[in-house]
């Protein structure tokens, strides 16, 4: 399953779709290669 980011800037993602569920508004990490824990630390 992949994460599809729509309407995103460098750190802010307005729309995200994952596993058939759409999430709106949220911050994203600069380095997306890490796991959830490392991405959370970046925010």
Give the model confidence (pLDDT) of 4-40 as tens digits: 887 767 777 778 889 999 888 767 788 889 999 999 8
Computed on alpha carbons and rounded to an integer, the radius of gyration of the chain in Å comes to 10
pLDDT at 26: 62
- Domain ranges in the chain are 3-42
Work out whether strand 3-8 and strand 12-18 pair parallel, antiparallel, or are unpaired: antiparallel
pLDDT at 25: 73
Q: Give the tokens for residue 14.
A: 């307005």
Pairwise CA distance, residues 10 & 13, whole Å: 8
Q: Measuring CA to CA, how many Å separate 16 from each of 8, 29, 30?
A: 9, 13, 16
Pairwise CA distance, residues 26 & 18, whole Å: 13
Provide the whole-model pTM.
0.41
């Amino acid at each position: 399953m992949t994460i599809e980011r729509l309407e995103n800037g460098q750190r802010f993602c307005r729309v995200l779709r994952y596993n058939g569920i759409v999430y709106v508004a949220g911050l994203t990490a600069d380095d997306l290669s890490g796991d959830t824990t490392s991405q959370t630390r970046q925010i």
